[in-house]
Structure formats: structure tokens, C-alpha cells
């Protein structure tokens, strides 16, 4: 396991792996989208673990109002936090805006990192589309940046716990391999059992904090 920082934009276009059945109600695609996009909002990269999935929903990349025929089309749907979803609303670029490079990038159609990048806890723009997206979705609200900082510190601490448990288990394994009197072996076995529990807790916490599946 390596430390996984959630605030990164994908470097390549996403190719959909999930094959959900056809639903008339787009909301039923949410669990598939959740796994498809690594439990993170595709626009701000916030993982849903610390926030809970109830604060996330289904984004219609092409808005329902303009494209009602795509309202339950899986290829038009993304996993998205409620904040980004409500700010994006029914935005769809006009032909004039498109000519100027004004649009919201989508992970299956665009290389997100070409348009947007994280500098510590701040989203920075790399293109006109990136600037538009940061403004439209208000990606750098003070509260959001504070929260991202807190989250990164939690991830760092949990990863340090995980590493300490793993290293200690490695050392015990080496000591046991040398051969010891049985009372000492029993003591180390007990320590090992505790460390294994702590390791699996740290692993579960990291998955929760980062959105890693
Ligand atoms: Zn978001």
C-alpha cells in the first residue's frame, strides 16, 4: 500500500469499466458510478468517505433540461459531490463559448490534468476551460481548502500509523525466525496479533479517507 493523495486530477481519459443494467431511473446508477470513479467527485476530487456518500449524487454532464434523452444514459453520468453538482446545474456551453474554449472538462472526454491541477489544497487552472470550471464550481472556497488541508493531515497521520505497524511486524518476524524460548515467542505472538488488528484498522481508515476502493 502506498500513501494515496486524493487531490490529483487524472492524466488520461477515463475508460468506463462498469457494465450496469439499463435503468429508467438515473439514480440507480449511483453505486456503479461510485465504483467507476473511485468514490471521488470527478470535478473537485473530494473522496466521499469522510463526507459520506449521501453528500454525493449523479451529475448529468449534458444537463437534463437540454438533453432529456440522455437523462438515464450511463455514458452521460458522473459521480459528483452535491456542492459541485448544484453549482454546475444546467450549464452547457454555447457555440460561441465553445469556440473560446469555455466548457467544463469531463473525465471520459478530456484529460482532466490538462485543464486542472492541485497545488497543495488549491485547484489551479491550466486552460480557459480550467479557469471557467474553477469559477463556475467555486472550487477554491476557503472552507473547502481548510477541509482539504485537514483531510491531508489525517491521511498523513494514518499512513504513518500503518507504516509503523508494518515495520514492527517485520521486525518481530525476523526475531521469531531466529528461534526463541517459548515464553518469549508467546509474548511476541500476542504483540503480533495486536499489530495486525491495528494494521487492518489503519488500512480501512486510509480507504475511507482517500476514497481508494
Ligand atoms: Zn465536487
Cell numbers placing 183? 515464553
The whole-number pLDDT of residue 1 equals: 52
61-65, 128-132, 209-213: least confident range:
209-213
Domain match, 175 and 134 both: no
11 in any annotated domain: no
Q: What is the mean pLDDT of residues 146-150?
A: 94
Q: What is the mean pLDDT of residues 87-115?
A: 97
Ligand 1 centroid from CA 200, angstroms: 29
Ligand 1 centroid from CA 104, angstroms: 13
Domain match, 156 and 135 both: no
3-state secondary structure the chain: CCCCCCCCCCCCCCCCCCCCCCCCCHHHHHHHHHHHCCCECCCCCCECCCCCHHHEEEEECCCCCCCHHHCCCHHHEEEEEHHHHHHHCCCCCCHHHHHCCCCCCCCCCCCHHHHEEEECCEEEECCHHHHHHHHHHCCCCHHHHHHHHHHHHHHHHHHHHHHHHHHHHHHHHHHHHHCCCHHHHHHHHHHHHHHHHHHHHHHHHHHHHHCCC
Ligand 1 centroid from CA 211, angstroms: 13
Give 144's contacts (C-beta < 8 A, 6+ positions apart): 44, 46, 83
What's the number of domains the chain is made of?
2
The whole-number pLDDT of residue 51 equals: 80
Of 97, 113, 141, which closes a domain?
Answer: 141
Domain match, 70 and 171 both: no
Ligand 1 centroid from CA 136, angstroms: 12
Stated pTM of the model: 0.88
pLDDT band with cut points at 50, 70 and 90 for residue 9: very high
Ligand 1 centroid from CA 43, angstroms: 5
Ligand 1 centroid from CA 95, angstroms: 26
Domain match, 160 and 64 both: no
CA 210 to chain centre: 6
The whole-number pLDDT of residue 181 equals: 81
Q: Report the alpha-carbon angle 33-135-26, nearest 5.
A: 25
Ligand 1 centroid from CA 131, angstroms: 15
Domain match, 30 and 111 both: yes
Cell numbers placing 119? 497545488
Domain match, 96 and 136 both: yes
Domain match, 78 and 169 both: no
90 in any annotated domain: yes
- Backbone dihedral region for residue 119 (phi beyond 0: left; psi -120 to 50: alpha; all else: beta): beta
Ligand 1 centroid from CA 210, angstroms: 14
Ligand 1 centroid from CA 154, angstroms: 20
The whole-number pLDDT of residue 57 equals: 96
Domain match, 134 and 154 both: no
Domain match, 126 and 199 both: no
Domain match, 62 and 117 both: yes
Ligand 1 centroid from CA 137, angstroms: 8
Ligand 1 centroid from CA 130, angstroms: 14
Domain match, 83 and 151 both: no
Cell numbers placing 161? 500509523
**Residue 3: pLDDT over 70:** no
The domain in which residue 39 lies consists of 26-141
Q: What is the mean pLDDT of residues 178-202?
A: 91
Domain match, 44 and 82 both: yes
Of 110, 141, 172, which closes a domain?
Answer: 141
Amino acid at each position: 500500500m502506498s500513501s494515496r493523495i486524493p487531490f490529483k486530477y487524472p492524466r488520461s481519459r477515463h475508460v468506463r469499466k462498469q457494465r450496469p443494467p439499463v435503468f429508467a431511473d438515473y439514480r440507480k446508477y449511483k453505486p456503479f458510478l461510485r465504483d467507476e470513479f473511485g468514490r471521488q467527485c470527478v470535478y473537485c476530487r473530494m473522496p466521499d468517505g469522510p463526507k459520506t456518500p449521501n453528500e454525493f449524487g449523479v451529475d448529468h454532464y449534458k444537463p437534463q433540461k437540454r438533453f432529456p434523452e440522455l437523462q438515464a444514459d450511463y455514458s452521460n453520468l458522473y459521480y459528483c459531490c452535491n456542492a459541485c453538482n448544484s453549482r454546475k446545474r444546467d450549464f452547457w456551453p454555447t457555440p460561441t463559448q465553445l469556440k473560446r474554449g469555455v466548457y467544463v472538462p469531463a473525465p471520459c472526454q478530456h484529460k482532466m490534468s490538462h485543464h486542472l491541477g492541485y497545488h497543495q489544497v488549491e485547484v489551479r487552472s491550466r486552460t480557459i476551460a480550467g479557469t471557467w470550471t474553477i469559477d463556475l464550481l467555486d472550487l477554491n472556497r476557503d472552507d473547502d481548502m481548510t477541509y482539504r488541508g485537514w483531510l491531508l493531515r489525517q491521511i498523513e497521520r494514518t499512513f504513518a500509523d500503518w507504516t509503523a505497524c508494518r515495520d514492527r511486524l517485520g521486525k518481530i518476524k525476523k526475531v521469531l525466525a531466529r528461534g526463541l524460548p517459548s515464553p518469549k515467542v508467546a509474548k511476541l505472538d500476542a504483540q503480533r496479533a495486536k499489530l495486525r488488528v491495528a494494521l487492518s484498522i489503519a488500512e480501512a481508515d486510509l480507504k475511507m479517507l482517500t476514497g481508494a476502493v
